[in-house]
């Protein structure tokens, strides 16, 4: 068991930019892609993920600093700190349930494929941290490893079912043929956000407003260009944070860079995926009587679309405003502000890129996320305490949108309390 644990820990420590290409290469070989072609695809995807991570890092650093300055400037008094997804993911992989869960998650996925309960082969191993975090919280609550594993796997089953259901929308809008998006947080927010977006589209007057990137560009010319939109949003955020004009423009340039670079990095990912997607379909046609199989991947593939990333950036100041005005909220948004485009990925696709509807639905969705993250704070704090990086002196508590605001993990936690001693 110790050897197994050490092996998994070594793989996890490599990070997604190494893990994902490695598994892509192995999956490509399984689907009979020639080794040379499989290697090039895997490396291309690795480069794409590295680029996406660099752009997300730029976005996180820029927005994080601005958000902190905004909080200090307006004197927000919120006691639960959003520490972001990396802390929750690290705590999940460091938990006792992690080695068993990684094997169990793979086994359940293969079993569901064999029984035709899913079309998705989820190779996004890094994002298994969502299922592991759910199991880890259940284990901390119950002290029972079996119950914790079962509850974590329950979340996996739900994610795979919804990933299948939403895949046609994703494939059509983002051009991701043969792909489903299995990131646990994206699916969880989709379960809340997509019905809300549908309701928004039915509101008289509002439902008929069309504000897609193409429509914005058509109406506003140069000001509708994604890079200019990023520049304007960044300058406004900088001024709200109390930056001087120069620093505000600097933030604007950073967000403009994100708007330009993210689609290009995602394009690299898609180029690497095409041979594997084609081979997977040929394999299924030959071995499963033409049965369709989806490759489950990270929602980073959706973050490059102008409608999605524009909606996510617009929701940053809205989320901060909601945190201040919502009665009962105690979460200070910070670490996961840069990942809001991951949460709106499905909504933007379901509304066919209508930024107006996506932002309205996203506003309600983020409000719900704040309340869930507030309630989840005790369990989230217990999850990350073992890392030794976060002080809980004076009653300080921690949460995040990615884990704490995730309705599926919240449900797992609530279910686990039924089995608590």
Work out the angle at residue 108's Cα, subtended by the Cα atoms of residues 343 and 92, and round it to the nearest 5 degrees.
50
Judge whether residue 30 has pLDDT over 60. yes
Cβ distance 275 to 37 under 8 Å?
yes
pLDDT (tens digit, 9 = 90+) per residue, 247-296? 889 888 988 887 778 777 767 777 777 777 777 767 766 776 667 888 88
Q: Which pLDDT value is given to residue 336?
A: 82
**Distance (Å, rounded) from C-alpha 169 to C-alpha 350?**
6
**Distance (Å, rounded) from C-alpha 37 to C-alpha 275?**
8
Judge whether residue 213 has pLDDT over 60. yes
Q: Which pLDDT value is given to residue 34?
A: 86
Q: Which pLDDT value is given to residue 180?
A: 93
**Distance (Å, rounded) from C-alpha 348 to C-alpha 69?**
29
Q: Could you tell me where the beta strands, DSSP code E, fall in 169-319?
A: 179-181, 294-297
For residue 56, what are its two tokens? 């997300």
Judge whether residue 11 has pLDDT over 70. no
**Distance (Å, rounded) from C-alpha 252 to C-alpha 45?**
29
27: Cα separation from own chain's centroid = 23
Judge whether residue 152 has pLDDT over 80. yes
Q: Could you tell me where the beta strands, DSSP code E, fall in 233-377?
A: 294-297, 331-332
Look at the chain and count its residues.
421
Q: Which pLDDT value is given to residue 397?
A: 84
Pick from 399, 409, 338, 377: nearest CA to 189 = 409
Q: Which pLDDT value is given to residue 131?
A: 96
Work out the angle at residue 94's Cα, subtended by the Cα atoms of residues 92 and 95, and round it to the nearest 5 degrees.
65
Q: What are phi and psi of 367, to 5 degrees?
A: -65, -45
pLDDT (tens digit, 9 = 90+) per residue, 67-103? 777 767 766 667 788 888 877 887 888 788 888 898 8
pLDDT (tens digit, 9 = 90+) per residue, 356-413? 999 999 999 999 999 999 999 999 998 888 655 555 555 678 898 999 999 999 999 9
Q: What are phi and psi of 122, to 5 degrees?
A: -85, 105
Q: How many CB atoms lie within 10 A of CB 394?
A: 6
**pTM of this structure:** 0.80
Cβ distance 47 to 267 under 8 Å?
no
For 127-150, what is the mean pLDDT?
A: 93
pLDDT (tens digit, 9 = 90+) per residue, 311-335? 988 898 899 889 888 999 999 887 7
Judge whether residue 105 has pLDDT over 80. yes
Pick from 80, 187, 179: nearest CA to 130 = 187
**Distance (Å, rounded) from C-alpha 402 to C-alpha 235?**
26
The DSSP code for 351 is T
- Where are the domains positioned within the chain? 2-417
For 171-193, what is the mean pLDDT?
A: 93
Cβ distance 401 to 82 under 8 Å?
yes
Mean pLDDT of the chain: 84
When mean pLDDT is compared across 178-182, 235-239, 255-259, 277-281, the lowest value belongs to: 277-281
For residue 58, what are its two tokens? 């730029």
Inter-CA distances, 370 with 192, 336, 377, Å: 13, 12, 10
């Amino acid at each position: 068991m110790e050897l197994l644990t050490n092996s998994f820990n070594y793989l996890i420590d490599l990070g997604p930019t190494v893990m994902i290409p490695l598994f892509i290469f192995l999956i490509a070989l399984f689907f009979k892609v020639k080794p040379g072609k499989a290697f090039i695809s895997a490396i291309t995807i690795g480069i794409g993920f590295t680029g996406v991570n660099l752009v997300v890092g730029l976005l996180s650093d820029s927005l994080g600093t601005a958000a902190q300055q905004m909080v200090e400037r307006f004197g927000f008094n919120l006691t639960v700190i959003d520490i972001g997804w990396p802390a929750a993911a690290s705590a999940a992989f460091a938990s006792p349930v992690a080695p068993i869960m990684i094997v169990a998650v793979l086994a359940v996925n293969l079993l569901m494929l064999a029984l035709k309960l899913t079309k998705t082969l989820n190779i996004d191993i890094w994002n298994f941290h969502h299922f592991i975090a759910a199991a880890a919280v259940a284990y901390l609550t119950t002290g029972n490893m079996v119950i914790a594993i079962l509850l974590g796997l329950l979340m996996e089953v739900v994610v795979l079912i919804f990933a299948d259901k939403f895949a046609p929308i994703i494939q059509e809008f983002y051009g991701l043929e043969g792909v489903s998006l299995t990131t646990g947080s994206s699916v969880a927010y989709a379960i809340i956000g997509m019905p809300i977006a549908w309701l928004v589209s039915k509101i008289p007057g509002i439902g008929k407003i069309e504000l897609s990137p193409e429509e914005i560009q058509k109406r506003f010319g140069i000001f509708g260009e994604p890079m200019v939109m990023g520049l304007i949003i960044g300058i406004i955020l900088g001024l709200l944070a109390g930056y001087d004009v120069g620093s505000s423009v600097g933030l604007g340039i950073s967000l403009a860079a994100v708007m330009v670079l993210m689609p290009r990095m995602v394009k690299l990912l898609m180029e690497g995926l095409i041979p594997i997607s084609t081979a997977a379909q040929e394999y299924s046609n030959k071995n499963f009587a033409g049965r369709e199989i989806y490759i489950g991947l990270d929602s980073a593939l959706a973050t490059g679309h102008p409608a999605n990333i524009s909606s996510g950036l617009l929701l940053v100041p809205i989320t901060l405003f909601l945190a201040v005005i919502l009665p009962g909220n105690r979460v200070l948004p910070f670490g996961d502000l840069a990942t809001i485009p991951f949460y709106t990925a499905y909504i933007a696709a379901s509304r066919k890129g209508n930024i107006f509807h996506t932002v309205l639905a996203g506003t309600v969705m983020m409000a719900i996320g704040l309340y869930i993250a507030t309630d989840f704070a005790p369990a989230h704090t217990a999850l990350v305490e073992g890392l030794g990086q976060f002080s809980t002196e004076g009653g300080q508590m921690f949460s995040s949108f990615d884990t704490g605001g995730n309705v599926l993990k919240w449900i797992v936690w609530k279910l686990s309390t039924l089995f608590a001693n």
